[in-house]
Amino acid sequence: MCLPRFGPSRGPLASEFRLDLSPPALPGMVGPIRRFLRDLLHAMGLDPDSACLILSEVVTNALLHGEGRPGITLELLCGELHITVSDASGGPLLRQAWDDARASGRGLDIVEALSEEWAVELIGSHGKAVWAVAKLGPPVMRVSPQPRESRSSRRDLAAGHSSASIEK
């Protein structure tokens, strides 16, 4: 996949960007696109979780139900990521009725739950764009458990031996 155009920000904030992607229309592209966004947002010190899930769902819909190569625009402005995914299908976006037994078809419900706002817009007579806005915050601090001491080091310390003297 070619690297997208990455230019300097337009505003005074160095944390603003706009990326335009046009990946091949292959189902296997969802993962690399999601990881690209996750790594970019993580490097900027932003929590990527909601934005990456929204992007995954909208790109998956475009690849499964759309036509042609999807167009993806990611634009970070004032702490909000604007995600737009377009395709050449002029067909309406259909939301399925909620059913706990269904294994798929919840993508738009996820987009609605995680985004600040979202919509579908027709592009001319053929094509549509699905857009969503994800508010980004600092990454959630995940505390990893402290490594446990081995039994032998605890026994040695209890006997008055330091780990440095044991290793020598």
Residue 148: predicted pLDDT: 55
The two structure tokens encoding residue 99: 């059913």
- d(CA 131, CA 61) in angstroms, rounded, equals 12
For the chain, give the mean pLDDT.
Answer: 80
Residue 147: predicted pLDDT: 57
The two structure tokens encoding residue 116: 């600040």
Other C-beta atoms lying within 10 Å of the C-beta of residue 21: 20
pLDDT-flagged residues of the chain (< 70): 1-14, 94-104, 140-168
Residue 144: predicted pLDDT: 58
Residue 42: predicted pLDDT: 93
Residue 98: predicted pLDDT: 67
CA distance to 11, 13, 137, per residue, from 8 (Å): 9, 10, 21
State the pTM of this model.
Answer: 0.72
Residue 138: predicted pLDDT: 79
User: What phi, psi does 57 have (nearest 5°)?
Assistant: -65, -45
